[in-house]
Amino acid sequence: MPRKNRIASETGVYHFINRGVNKKRLFHQREDYRTYLALMDEHAKDLGIRIYHYCLMTNHTHLLLRTLDVESLSRFGHYLQRRYAYYYSRTHDWPEQVFRKRFIALPIQKDSYLLECGRYIERNPIRAKIVEDPTDFVYSSYGYYGLGYENGLVTPNPLYEDMGFSKNERILAYRDYVRADRPYEEIVDEKFNPF
């Protein structure tokens, strides 16, 4: 059965999700996270992809990215899976498949969803009960937005600039925005338990 064509986003923005096969761990040590981030950075730059938000969980990843076209998105996902799987297999002596077959790329059709999707991505460690506060999880873009850390991988979310007149105002507003609970998230998590 042939694969379905990806739906192109009118905005060029996608919520990119990748998961280990059978929810297998993708990251066991710091070097695993660093390698994945370096591969993301390398190929995003090669393809002109802008990464607005990311979060690397133990068995899956979330990215909010903007790309020029679906072909670049596919090349990015294929490259990332192939190169990281090669690294993982060699480092962890794993002879089998690392990722499930295909990454997910949900098209974000309205720019107004950019901040909400970024918030969702950076709250993943809280929703999975790994940390209580996003500042305690280092493998996400939250440090850039909520703490003001430099991060060469992140292109600022266009809506972030509207959160305040100064960098400090934006940081404080973003912290409040991400920390606020959303009842719908709790209902979905309780019903479907994505972790």
**Which residue range is the domain that position 136 belongs to?**
13-189
CATH code for the domain in which residue 32 is found: 3.30.70.1290
- Tens digits of residue pLDDT in 36-58: 999 999 999 999 999 999 999 99
Please report whether residue 7 resides in a domain. no
Please report whether residue 103 resides in a domain. yes
Please report whether residue 177 resides in a domain. yes
- Tens digits of residue pLDDT in 87-113: 999 999 999 999 988 899 999 998 888
Counted domains in the chain: 1
For the whole model, what pTM was predicted?
0.91
**Gap between the Cα atoms of 148 and 183, Å rounded:** 28
According to DSSP, residue 13 is labeled: E
Please report whether residue 3 resides in a domain. no
Please report whether residue 79 resides in a domain. yes
Give the pLDDT score at 101.
80
Measured over the CA atoms of residue 128, residue 67, residue 116 and residue 113, the dihedral's sign is negative
Please report whether residue 123 resides in a domain. yes
Please report whether residue 181 resides in a domain. yes
Please report whether residue 2 resides in a domain. no
Q: How many CB atoms lie within 10 A of CB 96?
A: 9
